[in-house]
């Protein structure tokens, strides 16, 4: 039996298979999902992990045992599942552990219209009800329909960003043996794109590198391939292909903040005066550029449930995170790495300059990226840093500790799941950024000694 208390997180379900997540547990979650949401029907998709098919099938049995009809979409990316939920008007479940290692699996759940289910919007109730249903079996009475949604997903995305008229582009894509290898060929088919695929073979053991583009080591093969091929850009997707990282023609990483600002400017050109959501770790340049393009920037906590809730509340046209998650009003307020990539391709292909020059206009500051420090006593560490910077800048605690001054800012926040403090710092120049970073890190080391 799996460990329900351990695998249910703030936003999703995730654990080691089969020690923490097994088929009886998935079946119980399927039954609980239907009971808690009141769903008469649901849609299910899964990634390429070896455990995904049996877990998804078990969930389907549980859902059907409570009378729900199930549309089984089979292999898909997480944003394909959101497309399915939105276009079919059904609650949905995606079986994936995203960028986690091969031994993990999990579930991302949403209500009809791709509305996320989190800890305070039904996930806790599903967990508690599933705990009561583990080992309880019932005859499936709901119907099962297998439906291939890949072409519909690709067609829909191509209506949102028109790439047919762009100049021909050479693009290297690293799918990391994840679901990008399934979705990219369908989306790019017939477009003026010369595709060089890296690791498109679906393989949940991730034989080449982890499917996590936030780790610089996982980008090296792509960076090398872009330069060697003389490509216009490179794209790296995570395991379930809901995140996308961009590499320019020189093999250099483009920060997600620059991509957020670029896409925001494009969306504001189509929807003047709209709201743009950004989390508090994105560059200070993002709200500046949003205002310059006539938009209304709104700052949120880190985490997709906060972003999506704020987008729904404000009717925001777009939202971006430092973790390369990008959210679109026209895509049911859900995140899609593929749609963000298509905006970058359009911005590049509609003019003649190389990508490094295009994104330069959206990259204004020097940033550390996210630096994790193991700190057993997080509260004491935050207290010391707060005291040390008292009077040196504006302080807010929307999500952790943020200190802002005219030439720099930093945020220090605790991990929800590990004894870690995550530092992000940014400044107008490299020297200041380094000084702020090192001062905070030195204080964290003092606490751990």
How many H-runs (helices) and E-runs (strands) does the chain carry?
A: 15, 23
Residue 314, φ and ψ in degrees, nearest 5: -95, -15
Q: What is the DSSP letter of 217?
A: G
Q: Say if residues 82 and 92 touch (Cβ distance below 8 Å).
A: yes
Closest by Cα among 97, 98, 130, 138 to 3: 130
Contact 194, 164 (CB under 8 A): no
Cβ proximity of 325 and 333 under 8 Å: no
d(CA 191, CA 169): 9
Measure the CA–CA gap between 216 and 237, rounded to whole angstroms.
Answer: 13
Q: Are strands 244-247 and 371-374 parallel, antiparallel or unpaired?
A: unpaired
**Residue whose tokens read 């790019």:** 188
Using CA atoms, how far residue 250 sits from 130, 221, 352, in Å, is: 50, 13, 16
Q: At residue 362, what are phi and psi to the nearest 5 degrees?
A: -110, 5
Any alpha helices (H) in 322-414, and if so which ranges? 337-349, 355-360, 378-388
Catalytic residue among 51, 52, 77, 98: 98
In this structure, the strands spanning 13-16 and 41-46 are unpaired
Burial 183-211 (b: 16+ CB within 10 A, else e): bbbbbbeebebebbbbbbebbbebebbbb
360 contact partners, CB below 8 Å, separation of at least 6: none
Q: Give all strands (DSSP E) within 100-259, no chain letters.
A: 104-111, 115-116, 144-146, 169-174, 193-198, 233-237, 244-247, 253-254
Question: Is 98 in the active site?
Answer: yes
Which three-class secondary structure state does DSSP give residue 367? strand
- The pair of three-digit structure tokens given for residue 312, joined into one six-digit string: 């729904």
> Which of 42, 47, 78 minimizes the C-alpha distance to 60?
42
* DSSP conformational letter for 8: B
- List the catalytic residues: 98
């Amino acid at each position: 039996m799996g460990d329900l208390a351990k695998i249910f997180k703030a936003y999703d379900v995730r654990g080691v298979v089969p020690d923490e997540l097994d088929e009886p547990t998935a079946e119980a979650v399927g039954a609980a999902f239907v009971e808690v949401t009141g769903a008469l029907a649901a849609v299910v998709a899964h990634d390429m992990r070896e455990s995904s098919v049996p877990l998804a099938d078990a969930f389907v049995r549980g859902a059907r045992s409570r009378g729900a009809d199930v549309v089984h979409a089979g292999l898909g990316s997480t944003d394909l599942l959101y497309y399915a939920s939105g276009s079919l008007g059904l609650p949905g479940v995606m079986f994936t552990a995203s960028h986690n290692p091969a031994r993990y699996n999990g579930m991302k759940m949403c209500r009809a219209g791709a509305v996320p289910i989190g800890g305070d919007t039904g996930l806790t109730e599903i967990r508690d009800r599933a705990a009561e249903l583990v080992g309880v079996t019932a005859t499936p009475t709901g119907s099962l329909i297998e439906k291939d949604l890949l072409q519909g997903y690709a067609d829909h995305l191509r209506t949102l960003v028109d790439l047919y008229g762009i100049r021909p582009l050479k693009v290297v894509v690293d799918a990391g043996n994840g679901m990008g290898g399934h979705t990219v060929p369908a989306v790019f088919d017939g477009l003026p794109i010369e595709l060089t695929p890296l690791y498109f073979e679906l393989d949940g053991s991730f034989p080449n590198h982890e499917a996590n583009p936030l780790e610089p080591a996982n980008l090296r093969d792509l960076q090398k391939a872009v330069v060697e091929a003389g490509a216009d850009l490179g794209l790296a997707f995570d395991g379930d292909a809901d995140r996308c990282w961009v590499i320019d023609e020189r093999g250099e990483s483009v920060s997600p903040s620059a991509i957020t600002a670029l896409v925001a400017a494009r969306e504001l050109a189509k929807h003047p005066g709209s709201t743009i959501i950004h989390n508090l770790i994105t560059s200070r340049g993002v709200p500046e550029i949003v205002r310059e393009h006539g938009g209304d920037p709104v700052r949120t906590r880190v985490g997709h449930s906060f972003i999506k809730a704020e987008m729904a509340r404000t009717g925001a046209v777009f939202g971006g995170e430092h973790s390369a998650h990008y959210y679109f009003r026209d895509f049911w307020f859900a995140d899609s790495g593929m749609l963000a990539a298509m905006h970058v391709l359009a911005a590049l292909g509609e003019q003649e300059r190389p990508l490094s020059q295009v994104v330069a206009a959206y990259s204004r500051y020097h940033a550390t990226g996210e630096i994790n420090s193991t700190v057993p006593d997080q509260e004491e560490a935050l207290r010391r840093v707060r005291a040390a910077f008292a009077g040196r800048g504006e302080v807010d605690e929307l999500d952790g500790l943020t200190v802002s001054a005219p030439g720099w800012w930093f945020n220090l926040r605790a991990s929800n799941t590990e004894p870690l403090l995550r530092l992000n710092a940014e400044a107008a120049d490299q020297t200041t950024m380094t000084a702020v970073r090192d001062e905070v890190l030195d204080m964290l080391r003092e606490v751990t000694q």
